[in-house]
């Protein structure tokens, strides 16, 4: 199953190492602390935030390429780095929406606010958006 995604050799190796660490150092329980998650092989801040948010309901924001683009284009949380955007989103998004906001922003970036040809005419927030598409023709 891992072979269908990029860098599968490294990911498969990290999965095995992570399983070993979880069994031997965490009593087979996935930790719910960022530092412990980031200490696992192949787990960075984004992955740790996904686990903390989706598995444990922590108010975190995993900023991927889609969320970074949407945050900057719309002006919701502009920033030059992923961490800067993450911190602004966590401050800006009301706590009752934090667990789901990550998924909403990813889907918006994947299907509406796309990288090459954003579908501004289909966007539900285009009237609030800072992005001004270039005229074509």
Active site residues: 46, 64
Contact 82, 38 (CB under 8 A): no
87: which residues sit within 8 A by CB, 6+ positions away?
79
55: which residues sit within 8 A by CB, 6+ positions away?
30, 32
Contact 111, 122 (CB under 8 A): no
In the three-class reduction of DSSP (H, G, I as helix; E, B as strand; rest coil), residue 56 is classed as coil
């Amino acid at each position: 199953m891992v072979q269908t995604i990029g860098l599968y050799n490294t990911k498969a190796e990290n999965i095995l190492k992570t399983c070993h660490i979880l069994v031997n150092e965490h009593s087979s329980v996935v930790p719910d602390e960022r530092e412990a998650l980031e200490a696992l092989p192949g787990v960075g801040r984004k992955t740790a935030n996904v686990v903390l948010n989706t598995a444990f309901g922590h108010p975190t924001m995993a900023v991927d390429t889609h969320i970074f683009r949407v945050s900057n284009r719309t002006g919701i949380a502009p920033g030059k780095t992923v961490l800067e955007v993450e911190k602004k989103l966590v401050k800006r998004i009301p706590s009752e929406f934090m667990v789901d906001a990550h998924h909403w922003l990813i889907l918006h970036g994947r299907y509406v606010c796309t990288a090459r040809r954003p579908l501004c005419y289909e966007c539900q927030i285009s009237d609030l958006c800072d992005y001004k598409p270039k005229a074509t023709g």
